Protein backbone atom coordinates (compact mmCIF):
# COMPACT_ATOMS: atom_id res chain seq x y z
CA UNK A 1 0.00 0.00 0.00
CA UNK A 2 2.80 2.43 0.89
CA UNK A 3 4.32 2.12 -2.61
CA UNK A 4 0.95 2.83 -4.23
CA UNK A 5 0.50 5.92 -2.04
CA UNK A 6 4.07 7.03 -2.76
CA UNK A 7 3.50 6.61 -6.52
CA UNK A 8 0.33 8.74 -6.25
CA UNK A 9 2.20 11.47 -4.30
CA UNK A 10 5.14 11.59 -6.74
CA UNK A 11 3.01 11.38 -9.92
CA UNK A 12 0.42 13.94 -8.77
CA UNK A 13 3.13 16.38 -7.60
CA UNK A 14 5.07 16.04 -10.86
CA UNK A 15 1.92 16.44 -12.97
CA UNK A 16 0.82 19.48 -10.97
CA UNK A 17 4.20 21.19 -11.30
CA UNK A 18 4.51 20.42 -15.01
CA UNK A 19 1.05 21.84 -15.71
CA UNK A 20 1.75 24.93 -13.58
CA UNK A 21 5.09 25.61 -15.21
CA UNK A 22 3.72 25.12 -18.74
CA UNK A 23 0.63 27.24 -18.19
CA UNK A 24 2.29 30.05 -16.22
CA UNK A 25 4.91 30.55 -18.93
CA UNK A 26 2.13 30.69 -21.52
CA UNK A 27 0.19 33.18 -19.37
CA UNK A 28 3.12 35.60 -19.31
CA UNK A 29 4.79 37.40 -16.43
CA UNK A 30 2.70 37.59 -13.23
CA UNK A 31 3.20 39.43 -9.96
CA UNK A 32 1.74 39.31 -6.45
CA UNK A 33 1.04 43.00 -5.82
CA UNK A 34 -2.60 44.04 -5.20
CA UNK A 35 -3.36 44.31 -8.94
CA UNK A 36 -1.08 41.42 -9.81
CA UNK A 37 -2.90 39.04 -7.45
CA UNK A 38 -6.28 39.89 -8.97
CA UNK A 39 -4.85 39.25 -12.44
CA UNK A 40 -3.27 36.01 -11.28
CA UNK A 41 -6.55 34.75 -9.78
CA UNK A 42 -8.32 35.59 -13.06
CA UNK A 43 -5.62 33.67 -14.95
CA UNK A 44 -6.15 30.62 -12.71
CA UNK A 45 -9.94 30.79 -13.13
CA UNK A 46 -9.64 31.02 -16.95
CA UNK A 47 -7.16 28.19 -17.51
CA UNK A 48 -8.47 24.65 -17.09
CA UNK A 49 -4.95 23.23 -16.89
CA UNK A 50 -4.18 25.40 -13.85
CA UNK A 51 -7.38 24.29 -12.10
CA UNK A 52 -6.41 20.69 -12.93
CA UNK A 53 -2.94 21.34 -11.48
CA UNK A 54 -4.51 22.51 -8.20
CA UNK A 55 -6.66 19.35 -8.24
CA UNK A 56 -3.47 17.27 -8.64
CA UNK A 57 -1.94 19.20 -5.74
CA UNK A 58 -4.93 18.29 -3.57
CA UNK A 59 -4.63 14.60 -4.58
CA UNK A 60 -0.92 14.71 -3.72
CA UNK A 61 -1.65 16.39 -0.36
CA UNK A 62 -4.26 13.84 0.75
CA UNK A 63 -2.17 10.88 -0.50
CA UNK A 64 0.79 12.30 1.45
CA UNK A 65 -1.35 12.56 4.60
CA UNK A 66 -2.34 8.89 4.17
CA UNK A 67 1.31 7.96 3.53
CA UNK A 68 2.43 9.75 6.70
CA UNK A 69 -0.25 7.92 8.65
CA UNK A 70 0.81 4.52 7.23
CA UNK A 71 4.61 4.94 7.33
CA UNK A 72 7.18 6.79 9.48
CA UNK A 73 7.77 10.43 8.56
CA UNK A 74 11.45 9.54 8.10
CA UNK A 75 10.35 7.39 5.14
CA UNK A 76 7.54 9.56 3.74
CA UNK A 77 9.42 12.86 3.37
CA UNK A 78 12.66 11.64 1.72
CA UNK A 79 10.80 9.11 -0.44
CA UNK A 80 8.42 11.77 -1.77
CA UNK A 81 11.44 14.00 -2.52
CA UNK A 82 12.04 11.54 -5.38
CA UNK A 83 9.70 13.81 -7.34
CA UNK A 84 12.67 16.27 -7.51
CA UNK A 85 14.56 14.00 -9.88
CA UNK A 86 11.48 12.92 -11.86
CA UNK A 87 10.43 16.55 -12.33
CA UNK A 88 13.92 17.68 -13.36
CA UNK A 89 13.98 14.93 -16.03
CA UNK A 90 10.45 15.82 -17.18
CA UNK A 91 11.33 19.54 -17.26
CA UNK A 92 14.10 18.69 -19.72
CA UNK A 93 12.10 16.21 -21.82
CA UNK A 94 8.59 17.72 -21.78
CA UNK A 95 9.17 21.44 -21.11
CA UNK A 96 12.43 21.52 -23.14
CA UNK A 97 14.30 23.33 -20.35
CA UNK A 98 18.07 23.47 -20.60
CA UNK A 99 19.13 21.31 -17.62
CA UNK A 100 22.90 21.50 -17.81
CA UNK A 101 25.38 19.58 -15.63
CA UNK A 102 25.54 22.37 -13.02
CA UNK A 103 21.76 22.48 -12.53
CA UNK A 104 21.52 18.67 -12.50
CA UNK A 105 24.34 18.43 -9.91
CA UNK A 106 22.62 21.09 -7.78
CA UNK A 107 19.33 19.17 -7.90
CA UNK A 108 21.10 15.96 -6.78
CA UNK A 109 22.79 17.83 -3.88
CA UNK A 110 19.43 19.28 -2.81
CA UNK A 111 17.82 15.82 -2.98
CA UNK A 112 20.62 14.44 -0.77
CA UNK A 113 20.10 17.33 1.65
CA UNK A 114 16.33 16.77 1.85
CA UNK A 115 16.88 13.05 2.55
CA UNK A 116 19.35 13.84 5.38
CA UNK A 117 17.12 16.58 6.78
CA UNK A 118 14.03 14.38 6.90
CA UNK A 119 15.66 11.59 8.96
CA UNK B 1 20.49 43.04 -21.14
CA UNK B 2 18.63 45.49 -18.83
CA UNK B 3 15.40 43.54 -19.43
CA UNK B 4 17.11 40.30 -18.40
CA UNK B 5 18.53 42.02 -15.28
CA UNK B 6 15.05 43.36 -14.41
CA UNK B 7 13.54 39.91 -14.87
CA UNK B 8 16.24 38.41 -12.64
CA UNK B 9 15.46 41.01 -9.93
CA UNK B 10 11.73 40.25 -10.08
CA UNK B 11 12.44 36.50 -10.03
CA UNK B 12 14.65 36.75 -6.93
CA UNK B 13 12.13 39.04 -5.17
CA UNK B 14 9.36 36.46 -5.71
CA UNK B 15 11.76 33.72 -4.68
CA UNK B 16 12.61 35.52 -1.40
CA UNK B 17 8.91 36.11 -0.70
CA UNK B 18 8.06 32.44 -1.35
CA UNK B 19 11.00 31.08 0.64
CA UNK B 20 9.91 33.07 3.74
CA UNK B 21 6.14 32.74 3.35
CA UNK B 22 6.00 28.94 3.24
CA UNK B 23 8.03 28.13 6.39
CA UNK B 24 6.38 31.03 8.24
CA UNK B 25 2.96 29.69 7.20
CA UNK B 26 3.93 26.19 8.32
CA UNK B 27 5.32 27.55 11.60
CA UNK B 28 2.16 29.52 12.33
CA UNK B 29 0.01 26.48 11.54
CA UNK B 30 2.21 24.16 13.64
CA UNK B 31 2.11 26.62 16.55
CA UNK B 32 -1.69 26.90 16.30
CA UNK B 33 -2.32 23.14 16.05
CA UNK B 34 0.17 22.30 18.83
CA UNK B 35 -1.68 24.67 21.18
CA UNK B 36 -5.13 23.54 19.98
CA UNK B 37 -6.91 21.73 22.86
CA UNK B 38 -8.50 18.97 20.73
CA UNK B 39 -6.77 16.13 18.85
CA UNK B 40 -7.18 16.40 15.05
CA UNK B 41 -9.04 13.33 13.82
CA UNK B 42 -11.11 12.39 10.77
CA UNK B 43 -13.94 14.51 12.17
CA UNK B 44 -14.19 17.56 9.84
CA UNK B 45 -15.82 19.67 12.59
CA UNK B 46 -12.60 19.50 14.63
CA UNK B 47 -10.64 20.65 11.56
CA UNK B 48 -13.03 23.56 11.02
CA UNK B 49 -12.67 24.54 14.70
CA UNK B 50 -8.88 24.38 14.38
CA UNK B 51 -9.05 26.58 11.27
CA UNK B 52 -10.80 29.25 13.35
CA UNK B 53 -7.71 29.47 15.56
CA UNK B 54 -5.93 32.76 14.67
CA UNK B 55 -2.49 31.11 14.25
CA UNK B 56 -3.88 28.30 12.08
CA UNK B 57 -5.90 30.79 9.99
CA UNK B 58 -2.84 33.03 9.57
CA UNK B 59 -0.78 29.98 8.56
CA UNK B 60 -3.36 28.89 5.96
CA UNK B 61 -3.49 32.46 4.59
CA UNK B 62 0.30 32.54 4.25
CA UNK B 63 0.34 29.11 2.56
CA UNK B 64 -2.30 30.21 0.02
CA UNK B 65 -0.27 33.37 -0.69
CA UNK B 66 2.87 31.23 -1.03
CA UNK B 67 1.09 29.03 -3.61
CA UNK B 68 0.14 32.13 -5.63
CA UNK B 69 3.70 33.49 -5.31
CA UNK B 70 5.07 30.19 -6.61
CA UNK B 71 2.70 30.39 -9.61
CA UNK B 72 3.95 33.92 -10.36
CA UNK B 73 7.52 32.65 -9.97
CA UNK B 74 6.85 29.88 -12.50
CA UNK B 75 5.73 32.52 -15.02
CA UNK B 76 9.31 33.87 -14.89
CA UNK B 77 11.58 30.92 -14.18
CA UNK B 78 12.10 27.29 -15.22
CA UNK B 79 10.62 24.48 -13.13
CA UNK B 80 14.07 22.84 -12.95
CA UNK B 81 15.37 26.14 -11.45
CA UNK B 82 12.49 26.81 -9.04
CA UNK B 83 12.39 23.28 -7.52
CA UNK B 84 15.93 23.10 -6.07
CA UNK B 85 16.24 26.82 -5.28
CA UNK B 86 13.04 26.90 -3.22
CA UNK B 87 14.30 23.88 -1.24
CA UNK B 88 16.15 26.41 0.92
CA UNK B 89 12.75 26.68 2.65
CA UNK B 90 13.42 23.23 4.21
CA UNK B 91 16.48 24.74 5.93
CA UNK B 92 14.45 27.71 7.19
CA UNK B 93 11.71 25.36 8.43
CA UNK B 94 14.34 23.41 10.40
CA UNK B 95 15.78 26.63 11.81
CA UNK B 96 12.32 27.97 12.78
CA UNK B 97 11.46 24.60 14.36
CA UNK B 98 14.60 24.79 16.50
CA UNK B 99 14.29 28.46 17.47
CA UNK B 100 10.53 28.84 17.96
CA UNK B 101 9.26 25.32 18.72
CA UNK B 102 12.46 24.16 20.52
CA UNK B 103 12.69 21.01 18.35
CA UNK B 104 15.88 18.94 18.45
CA UNK B 105 18.03 19.18 15.27
CA UNK B 106 20.68 16.46 14.80
CA UNK B 107 24.14 16.82 13.24
CA UNK B 108 22.86 14.81 10.26
CA UNK B 109 20.07 17.33 9.73
CA UNK B 110 22.55 20.23 9.80
CA UNK B 111 24.63 18.29 7.24
CA UNK B 112 21.49 18.03 5.09
CA UNK B 113 21.03 21.80 5.41
CA UNK B 114 24.58 22.37 4.18
CA UNK B 115 23.95 20.13 1.14
CA UNK B 116 20.75 22.06 0.35
CA UNK B 117 22.68 25.36 0.63
CA UNK B 118 25.35 24.07 -1.76
CA UNK B 119 22.82 22.66 -4.23
CA UNK B 120 20.73 25.83 -4.13
CA UNK B 121 23.82 27.96 -4.73
CA UNK B 122 24.83 25.79 -7.67
CA UNK B 123 21.38 25.93 -9.31
CA UNK B 124 21.05 29.64 -8.44
CA UNK B 125 24.16 30.36 -10.49
CA UNK B 126 22.46 29.05 -13.67
CA UNK B 127 20.15 31.09 -15.90
CA UNK B 128 16.67 31.09 -14.36
CA UNK B 129 14.77 30.91 -17.63
CA UNK B 130 16.31 28.87 -20.41
CA UNK B 131 13.22 28.55 -22.60
CA UNK B 132 12.12 32.22 -22.78
CA UNK B 133 15.62 33.66 -23.13
CA UNK B 134 16.40 31.12 -25.82
CA UNK B 135 13.28 32.23 -27.72
CA UNK B 136 14.23 35.91 -27.37
CA UNK B 137 17.72 35.29 -28.71
CA UNK B 138 16.38 33.54 -31.83
pLDDT at B73: 93
Answer whether A97 sits within 8 Å of B94, measured CB to CB. no
Test A95 with B131 for CB contact under 8 angstroms: yes
Q: Which of B83, B15, B121 is nearest to A90 (CA)?
A: B83
Distance (Å, whole) CA A98 – CA B54: 44
Which residues in chain A are contacts of B82 at CB distance < 8 A? 21
pTM: 0.82
Would you call A58 an interface residue with chain B, using a CB distance cutoff of 8 Å?
Answer: no
Kindly report the nearest CA distance between residue A40 and chain B, in angstroms.
8
Q: Is residue A75 predicted with pLDDT exceeding 80? A: no
Indicate yes or no: CB of B90 within 8 angstroms of CB of A117.
yes
Domain residues for A36? 2-118
For residue range A83-111, what is the model confidence (pLDDT) as tens digits? Answer: 888 888 898 899 888 888 988 898 888 88
Q: A97 vs B79: CB contact, 8 Å cut-off?
A: yes
Domain count, chain A: 1
Q: A61 and chain B: CB distance < 8 Å anywhere?
A: no
Under an 8 A CB cutoff, do B75 and A50 touch? no
Gap from B2 CA to chain A (nearest CA, Å): 16
A94 in contact with B, Cβ within 8 Å: no
Instruction: Look at chain B and report how many structural domains it folds into.
Output: 1
Cα within 13 Å of Cα(B103), Cβ side: 15
> Residue B55 is part of which domain span?
2-137
pLDDT digits (tens, 9 = 90+) for B15-55: 999 988 988 888 888 788 777 776 666 677 777 787 888 98
* Per-residue pLDDT, B138: 41
Inter-axis angle of helices B54-74 and A2-27, to 10 degrees? 60
Question: Residue A50: its pLDDT value, please?
Answer: 92
Amino acid sequence: MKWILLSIVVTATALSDLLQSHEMKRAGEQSVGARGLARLLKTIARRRELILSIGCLAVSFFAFMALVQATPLSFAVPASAASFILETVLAKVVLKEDVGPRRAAGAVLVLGGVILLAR
Amino acid sequence: MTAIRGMRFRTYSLLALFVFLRPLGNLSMAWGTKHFPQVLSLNPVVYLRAMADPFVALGIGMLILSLLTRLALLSLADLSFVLPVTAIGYVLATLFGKVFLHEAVSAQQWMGSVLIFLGTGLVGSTSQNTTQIAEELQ
